[in-house]
């Protein structure tokens, strides 16, 4: 049982390049989330999804896009990478939504550097 799987684990991008961070879960969770974690800061929500075909913005969505075509997958797209997007990105999923008190389960993150 893999839980939440993120790929790649590490990536270096040049300014202006684009890339997609992959996230897949095998727990049949409807709710999925993308966070970024910066040094000395708490996790910040970028986007979330309540099910296939439904996504919504979180606290820091600018510069990112998401899609949710299946229950299992929730990719995060960076279109024009900027140095401010250097961070560790975590994908998470939960059985019930972000407004419920069910815990979220996290992947191991993608460490992204923009140079």
Partner 1 sequence: EDQVTQSPEALRLQEGESSSLNCSYTVSGLRGLFWYRQDPGKGPEFLFTLYSAGEEKEKERLKATLTKKESFLHITAPKPEDSATYLCAVLGGTGANNLFFGTGTRLTVIP
- Tell me if 2 contacts partner 1 by CB under 8 A: no
In the sheet that 19-25 helps form, which strands lie side by side, from edge to edge? 4-7, 19-25, 76-78, 64-66
Structure tokens at 60: 């820091």
Considering Cα of 101, then 1, then 52, then 111, what sign does the dihedral take?
positive
Site string for partner 1, 61-100 (x = CB under 8 A): -----------------------------x-x-----xx-
Residue 84, phi then psi, degrees to nearest 5: -65, -15
Q: How far is the CB of 38 from partner 1 (least distance, A)?
A: 10
What is the rounded distance in angstroms from the CA atom of residue 43 to the CA atom of residue 104?
Answer: 12
Q: Residue 16 or residue 51: which is nearer to partner 1 going by CB?
A: 51
Query: In whole angstroms, how close is the CB of 90 to partner 1 at the nearest point?
Result: 5
- Tell me the Cα Rg of the chain: 13
What minimum distance in Å lies between the beta carbon of 41 and partner 1? Answer: 6
- Which residues here bind partner 1, judged by CB under 8 A? 4, 6, 40-45, 90, 92, 98-99, 101, 103-109
């Amino acid at each position: 049982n893999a839980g939440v799987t993120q790929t790649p684990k590490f990536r270096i991008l040049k300014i202006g390049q684009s890339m997609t961070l992959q996230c897949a879960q095998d727990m049949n969770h409807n709710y999925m989330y993308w966070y970024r974690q910066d040094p000395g800061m708490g996790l910040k929500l970028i986007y979330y999804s309540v099910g296939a075909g439904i996504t919504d913005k979180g606290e820091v969505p600018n510069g990112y896009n998401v899609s949710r075509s299946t229950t299992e997958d929730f990719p995060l797209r960076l279109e024009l990478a900027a140095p401010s997007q250097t961070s560790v990105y975590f994908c998470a999923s939960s059985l019930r939504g972000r407004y419920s008190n069910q815990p979220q389960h996290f992947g191991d993150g993608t460490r992204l550097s923009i140079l």
